């Protein structure tokens, strides 16, 4: 019998929402990711200590004050981890620009260039990398510039129709609309539990897919932030789905077929591109999206700060 994971792969490309090399070897995803949260976890995994120690030792020997060396160390660790991941997947590795740059387009572009240069020094071309940016107006503008340079981007922390439309307008390579965090917000607000077919996060991502199809946009839609395998299966047919190791294991242990639940409609007329005031107003009108974007940036920044603290302690 076919496992549900294998059946799911017939409808959507599966991406591993992890930087754990063993999980990537086991589940054979198309793409994978690395970010400060995953790098922080790697400090406590025995298999990564030699890799971490080697990179940090190299940075420690470099000139510069502690702050600049910590920043370089974060970038080097992200890229060396990403480089290891590219050996195990046929596709791309998403590498994150620091959340504290989410409202600075110029700094985000500079950081993206630095990350791509580090990858290229390791013999990994930009075609194997996605630069991951928060879906703020500034992040989307940075992505628009990078895309024109042939540097593809993954716009994350996407919770609103306005964010999705602005990304489509900008010609972004890939967007990651969140499922679980959307549903978390509605569950907290209403006190309800939701079946998959009425799940607010699932319905949101389906609406983004419909918008992508109607506009005939080339942007890849990748459902993210899943809480249950039911949410995953309810989005079978979405271009890509990024799934945690726990849910990959659950799907791999189940036998059965998977029905295609997302169908992209035929292209029609595209809407007029959003202006900055239009984007900010439409996003502002969505209380959930406002709350979750701000919270997501804060959480990513906290993990970045913890990672930087661990590195600073190591560098002494």
Residue 11 structure tokens: 């409808």
Q: What Rg value do the Cα atoms of the chain yield, rounded?
A: 19
Phi and psi, residue 264, nearest 5°: -80, 125
Dihedral over alpha carbons 178, 239, 263, 161 (to 10 degrees)? 40
Other Cβ atoms closer than 10 A to 91: 15
DSSP 8-state symbol, 283: H
Q: Where are the alpha helices (DSSP H) in 135-191?
A: 137-148, 161-170, 180-190
What is the rounded CA–CA span in Å between residue 137 and residue 92? 25
Tell me whether residue 260 is one of the annotated catalytic residues: no
Pairing of strands 13-16, 31-34: parallel
Place of tokens 């063993």: 22
Contact 313, 205 (CB under 8 A): no
For residue 197, give Cα distances in angstroms to 30, 53, 102, 177.
Answer: 27, 47, 33, 17
Closest CA to 56 of 42, 76, 36, 40: 76
| Distance, C-alpha 156 to centroid of its chain | 5
Instruction: Report the first-to-last Cα separation within the chain, whole angstroms.
Output: 55
Q: Which among 111, 132, 188, 292 is annotated as catalytic?
A: 132
Residues involved in catalysis: 132
């Amino acid at each position: 019998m076919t496992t549900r994971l294998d059946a799911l792969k017939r409808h959507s490309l599966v991406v591993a929402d992890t930087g754990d090399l063993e999980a990537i070897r086991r589940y054979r995803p198309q793409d994978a990711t690395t970010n400060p949260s995953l790098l922080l976890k790697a400090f406590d995994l025995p298999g990564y200590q030699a890799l971490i120690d080697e990179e940090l030792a190299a940075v420690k020997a470099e000139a510069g004050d502690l702050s600049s060396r910590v920043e370089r160390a974060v970038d080097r660790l992200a890229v060396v981890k990403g480089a290891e991941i590219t050996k195990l997947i046929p596709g791309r590795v998403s590498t994150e620009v620091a959340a504290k740059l989410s409202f600075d387009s110029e700094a985000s572009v500079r950081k993206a260039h630095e990350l791509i240069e580090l990858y290229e020094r390791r013999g990994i071309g930009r075609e194997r990398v996605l630069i991951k940016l928060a879906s703020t107006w500034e992040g989307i503008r940075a992505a628009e510039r990078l895309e024109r340079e042939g540097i593809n981007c993954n716009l994350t922390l996407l919770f609103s129709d306005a964010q999705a439309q602005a990304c489509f307008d900008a010609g972004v390579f890939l967007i990651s609309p969140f499922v679980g965090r959307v549903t978390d917000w509605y569950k907290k607000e209403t006190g309800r539990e939701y079946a998959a077919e009425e799940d607010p996060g699932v319905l949101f991502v389906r609406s983004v897919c419909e918008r992508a199809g109607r506009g005939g946009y080339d942007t890849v839609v990748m459902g993210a932030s899943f809480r249950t395998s039911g949410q995953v299966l309810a989005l079978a047919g979405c271009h890509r789905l990024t799934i945690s190791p726990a849910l990959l294991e659950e799907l791999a242990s189940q036998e059965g077929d998977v029905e295609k639940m997302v169908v992209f409609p035929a292209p029609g007329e595209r809407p007029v591109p959003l202006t900055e005031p239009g984007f900010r107003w439409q996003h502002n009108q969505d209380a959930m999206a406002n709350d979750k974007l701000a919270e997501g940036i804060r959480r990513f920044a906290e993990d970045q700060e913890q990672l930087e603290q661990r590195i600073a302690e190591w560098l002494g």
